[in-house]
Amino acid sequence: MKNKEKHLLYRDVQDALELIGGRWRGAIMASLCNDPKRFTELKKDLEPITSRTLTKELRYLEQNRLIIAVRGSQAKNAVCYSHSEHGSSFAPLILQLREWAIKHRTIMLEVLKFDQ
Amino acid sequence: MKNKEKHLLYRDVQDALELIGGRWRGAIMASLCNDPKRFTELKKDLEPITSRTLTKELRYLEQNRLIIAVRGSQAKNAVCYSHSEHGSSFAPLILQLREWAIKHRTIMLEVLKFDQ
DNA sequence: AAAATTAGTATCTTTAAGGATACCAAATTG
DNA sequence: CAATTTGGTATCCTTAAAGATACTAATTTT
């Protein structure tokens, strides 16, 4: 029990970071924060992502219920991607990650100045 | 300007996720949340991480000022790793990542039940 | 009806992360 | 002073993520 809890301490973090880690998954979630987007819009927004990668990551996020893909009933060419309810519960974390990244950048710049 | 901001939207998220992404970096930060730890303690806590990987990731986190390594002045064999000030500003995010991972898990379990 | 757009596939290749295993010098403990 | 512990290195290897490039069927626009 003690041992298991010890593991869970970091295993949950590993799980979360697998879901939205890598180069694109978190970015896709961020891009969908404001509003639903079409495949092509996402691709433009996330430049230089490739079609292949975008497709793969969208499928992954869909399978893990973080996003919803609405495929047009008659028009197969119209697909709209948006956060699922659960996915949008991740939005606050995205904002904090951004803020933290910005803070980190300024700190690293200060350090660089100091080190010279 | 407009274009640049568009990019920053997700670039910050990418940056943050590079800093603490991958299999181990976030986990190491999580393991150091409660208290400073020695190399060997970290290794036990993060089992099954290898020495090689732990060393590499600790160096990375140190270079990026997320952790501090205190190397004993006379005893070279005593090294203590802890969050830097900046690193500990990441602790709240770790907690939220954990909570979110747990929520995600329960949601996926529900979905599995439903899909059968 | 021709041209362009949408939402992808299909291959092939590169790169990076990380594991497996063996080894090690300095310090500490018994 | 011998054994063990600490905090790592050094090599070699596997796997997964992602890029490059070319292609496409269905739809929409002109």
User: With an 8 Å Cβ cutoff, is B107 touching chain A?
Assistant: yes
Report yes or no: A44 at the B interface, CB cutoff 8 Å: no
Instruction: Select the highest-mean-pLDDT range: B1-15, B54-68, B74-88.
Output: B54-68
Q: How many domains does chain B have?
A: 1
| CA proximity to B65, closest of A22, A112, A95 | A112
The protein residues having a beta carbon less than 7 Å from any atom of strand C are A 38-41, 50-52, 55, 58, 69, 77-79; B 22-25, 48-53, 57, 72, 74-78
Question: What is the spatial distance between Cα B53 and Cα B43, in angstroms, rounded to a whole number?
Answer: 10
pLDDT recorded at residue B4: 43
Tell me the CATH number at A54: 1.10.10.10
- B35 is in which domain, residue-wise? 2-115
Q: What is the pLDDT of residues A11-30, one digit of tens each?
A: 999 999 999 999 999 999 99
Q: What is the DSSP string of chain A?
A: -HHHHHHHHHHHHHHHHHHH-TTTHHHHHHHTSSS-EEHHHHHHHTTT--HHHHHHHHHHHHHTTSEEEEE-SS-TT-EEEEE-HHHHTTHHHHHHHHHHHHHHHHHHHHHHHHH-
pLDDT at A4 over 80: no
Strand locations in B9-116 (E): 37-38, 67-71, 79-83
Residue B30 has pLDDT above 90, yes or no: yes
* Residue B57 Cα distances to A92, B49, B94, angstroms: 27, 11, 17
State residue A73's pLDDT score: 77
